[in-house]
Structure 1
Amino acid sequence: MKRKIHLLAAVVATLCIAVFFISTIIVELFGSLDMIASTKSLIVTPGLFILIPAMVIVAGSGFSLGKSRKGRLVNVKKKRMPFIALNGLFILTPCAIFLSIWATSGIFDTTFYIVQGIELVAGAVNLVLMGLNMRDGLKMTGSGLPRFAKTV
């Protein structure tokens, strides 16, 4: 049961970040300033209120599951987790809140777009790290990986 909760929370968290990332790019390229502001606001509420509990559940269940496991994959996953957590806590969350406040205030200046760039890079990093953790977790459990994931 713990494994299923861990997997579900990991999928929810990864999908949240992917949706935030993709919606940001799409709205920046094709949306109006009002659409950008709306998207930024939705990323904070309800977005962060879904993402943060999912990440807490992933971390807690992951540490619990990893206590009894040994091996290279477990160690690699444990080393990635602090980077994912710190990136989310100290870069992604403050950027999301800042961008939401400025966008809803109609401030789309150079600072806004610099912070937007930082958020996109940090989001991409977290997506890659979380994807690697999911891949390694599936390897550890012997779950069937799609063929394309086995070659990555």
Structure 2
Amino acid sequence: MAEREILPFGDPVLRKKAKPVEQLTPKMLRILDDLVDTLYAEDGRAGLAAPQIGVLRRMVVMDCGEGLVELINPEILESSGEQIGPEACLSYPGYAGIVKRADYVKVKTLTRTGESVVIEGHGYLARCIQHEIDHLDGVLFIDRIVDGQFYDELTKQKADLLRVLKLAQK
């Protein structure tokens, strides 16, 4: 178990689609443990997906205030309702945006022991699940920002998304 570096915005790995976990080998479980260590080293912010640490596998860890949730090969089975609210990302430190998401999701996933389970999430948990599964598909929260509502988390002042993205390319 180890804390890993989180890839910053602009890293091309964040735009790639992650591959399914074929077997829960000791190596895959170590990666899952590293995700947990890295998440909690970042003050336990909502979630972290394997691509954010440079591993293109369909694994996610989250703690949305109700304890650790691990998702392996998650698949959204159902979604409904709508919520619009702020989102941030460990790969975009210091910035947030207003994003529209489903208010409810039902997800089929594997546990670290290989058991297939179904998890349901409402509100904030549903938002976290969707945000992290997006990472597995190379989709970032900035792709879903409503009406250009992107801002500096500290000052709450509107930020220029295009300028921030250009800086990341350098």
TM-score, L = length of structure 2: 0.31
Q: Return the index of the structure with the highest Cα Rg.
A: 1
Ranked by relative contact order (alpha carbons within 8 Å, sequence separation 6 or more), the top structure is 1
| Larger fraction in strand | 2
Which one has a larger percent helix, Structure 1 or Structure 2? 1
